[in-house]
Structure 1
Amino acid sequence: METIILSILPLAVIVGLGYLATRFDYISSAAIDGISRYVFAIALPALIFRNLANGSLLNNMGPAGLILLSYFVGALAVLMLGLAVGKYLFKSGQAEQSIIAVGASHSNTVLLGVPAVLMLLGARNVGPLVLIVGLHGMLMAVLLTVVIRVRGGKAGEIPSAAWQAALSQAKNPIFIALALGVAYDLIGDAAGAPRLPDIVNSILRILSSALYPCSLFALGGMLVRYKFGGQIQEAGAVSALKLVAHPLIVWVLAKPLLGLSDSWTWVAVMLALMPVGFNMHNLASRSKNAAGLADTAIVLSTVLSLVAVIVMLSVK
């Protein structure tokens, strides 16, 4: 247990430093936005493209479809659970139900998920990590669009709405890096071309090496914006769905049902038990009644995710 806690401590300390530096104006909120943008637009895309273009992922894909199935079917299941909890337990309106469902199913895969997997499970697990994170934004947007249209009795709009959701996510630098990396590797294999030139590989490695401190520091800085205290019961339910139900469903799908390897299974599980993504706040900002719920759920689930990771590492 001591070894596990010590392995997690650097992550917690860097997140805490980001929080304190921003809270006491040592680092401005605008600077935090810049650091976060660097992670999303430069560092993570560099990591994704480099690993794909060098053939270190596609040559060993194996159960790629199975890990995507386990993670995103798990996300869909907990999204539906979130809707049910909002409707039957808290008697919420449809808008609040959707916000609870988004919080329960959307992980903070980038700012915490990527460094957590690479630092705690090892860089050898970059393959399944890149796959899930690269497709996370697009597939979750499409799933949410489909569910909202079905609940609203507008099933006929699903094809066009899902297509628009996919197109909007196709502009995401993370997805673009995934698509370009796959294309580069496939074309290189077909043409017998060499992998990335050494100089390009070195540049991408240096750019992506900043991912660890920047993402964790930015996470801490962004937490300053969210206030704890609104709708504690609902936020607790969201956190329980996110940190318990989501990873448990993913594990059942990945290991007992689909027979994925331990290493691939635990990557999917760790990403599933990451805290509520910040997009819950963006959605809740449209509803006056849900802003406090989103803020509290983000803060609470982020703090509790450290405990959840300790539990996962203890039983894996």
Structure 2
Amino acid sequence: MNVQRLCRHPAGWFASALQALADAGHYSNVFNPSLARFDGRWHLAFRAEAHPGEKPFRAFYTNAAADRFSPPLDLSAILAHEDFPRIADPKLVVLGERLYLTFNTGNLAGTDNALYLMQVWPTVGAPQRCEVEGRQTVEKNWAFYLDPQGELSVIYSLSPLVRLRRARGVLGSAGMLFFERAGSTDGPGKGLSIGTQITFANARTGYLVAHEKPGVLGKRGYVGRLVRLTFDHRGEAAVTVGGTRLIHSYRKLIPAKKRHNPNLLWATYFAGAVLDDNSELLSLSYGINDVEFGFAELPLAQLWK
């Protein structure tokens, strides 16, 4: 098994631009950035403390036409008026002619969380709750996409490979979105959970970074595995898991003494993956141990062996 250390492939201006944004806004503990490329701009969602020690973490969204991000939108403050307890795992996803944010409301003791889609570009829309019959108590990450027929669909899990499709509701409205199971097959991604949203190389082939979570004495770590999804003309999907593990660095695998999550050993947590127009260069955005952020760029061929 190969291991790719992403600290050896830093991604241009992203890290310095996000750090400048954090410094200007006096944000601390910036982590889990989610990068997307859409409509000639780079877009970014991230989590941070607006004030040192503030919990829960806030979610922010920004975009850049050149090499500087605009002042971010505090999504947590906006949605607080609608009684959202928190915005966890915010990730950007391109769906047709719009850019959306998907997030969940966290894992609060004694309650089911909820998962949402919300348009953020070209305008900010209303959050739409996403439901499926027989859902898990805690829903973390669904990978949204438009199938070959243009229908809103979801990779619900990788092992087994479960797909969902929209049953009711209108994407981009203020109403709920209801999904139904469209297929379930055994997949090679045993033990893998969905990390990033899908970045498409063409209409039938996409990639995402999944999380492999090795455990020790009830605690776990997060490393990345690149996954290829191949769709046929009916929308059926096949999954292939890459043979390279993705980490930021070996040094960051040393368990931190202070953790926001006491069950976390270490984490390279992937929130964004973007292929360039030639489907040759892959840009990755990720969090490090819930306290730092990282960006990397490297050829897809270097990861997919």
TM bracket, shorter-chain basis: under 0.3
Larger radius of gyration: 1
Q: Which structure has more helix as a fraction of its residues?
A: 1
Q: Higher strand share goes to which structure?
A: 2
TM-score normalised to structure 1 length: 0.27
Q: TM-score, length-normalised on structure 2?
A: 0.28
